[in-house]
Amino acid sequence: RNEIVHHAKAFQHIIHAFVTEKKDLTEDLIKETHRILTRGIPIVDSEGYLEVLPEEYGIYRTVIVSACTTNFTVPKFVPVKMKEMYDTLKEELIAAELQGAVDPFSIAAKYSLEFVQIHPFQDGNGRTCRMILNATLCRDTGVVVPIGERGEERAEYMGIKRRSSQHMEGHGEYATFVLQRASTRLREIKRSWLGRENSE
């Protein structure tokens, strides 16, 4: 229950800043979102020892991490890579708005995937990645895409992320996956509204 409450609070925090107030996605915003997300949720290793101390929540990691065959950014380069991500996202959003041609699915997929490939925190990167994805989508489309609710969907999502990291394939496959999930979500919302109207 605690994890659900903090997840909701963290999502509300990033949505309010990035979507409602139209602030930039910044280091402070991501760190505070991560801090809220992980607050009060102990991160323990297989032997039951604390792996991440509570005061380290919302702070970039200082240890090397990997997952299967994927090696993430070396700790000393994390701040630089994150700054590059924030700066290029800001530039891309400004350019897209000036041109009047925003592809929110491509942008959301690109930067949430880049975030998870950097893996700036010791824990909670996947959850924070999906918050970045949905905050970016919500800002331009008003749509939130739940990902990983079903086992097969989660396996597909993890496979896309793994292939992108291993083969440097870019974010195209992920953007298509997100677009498909968004289309499904919109159809579900439409059916729900039509059902509500028919019952009134």
Catalytic residue positions?
119
Tokens in use for 177?
């996956």
For residue 198, say whether it is annotated as part of any ligand binding site: no
For residue 185, say whether it is annotated as part of any ligand binding site: no
For residue 148, say whether it is annotated as part of any ligand binding site: no
For residue 125, say whether it is annotated as part of any ligand binding site: yes
**For residue 199, what is the enclosing H or E element?**
helix 172-199
CA distances from 169 to 79, 96, 162 (A): 24, 23, 10
Contact 160, 173 (CB under 8 A): yes
Tokens in use for 137?
């989508």
For residue 128, say whether it is annotated as part of any ligand binding site: yes
CA distance 9 to 27: 18
Residue 52 bridge partners (DSSP): 43
For residue 196, say whether it is annotated as part of any ligand binding site: no
Q: Which residues are annotated as a binding site?
A: 123-130
Q: Which residues are annotated as a binding site for ATP?
A: 123-130
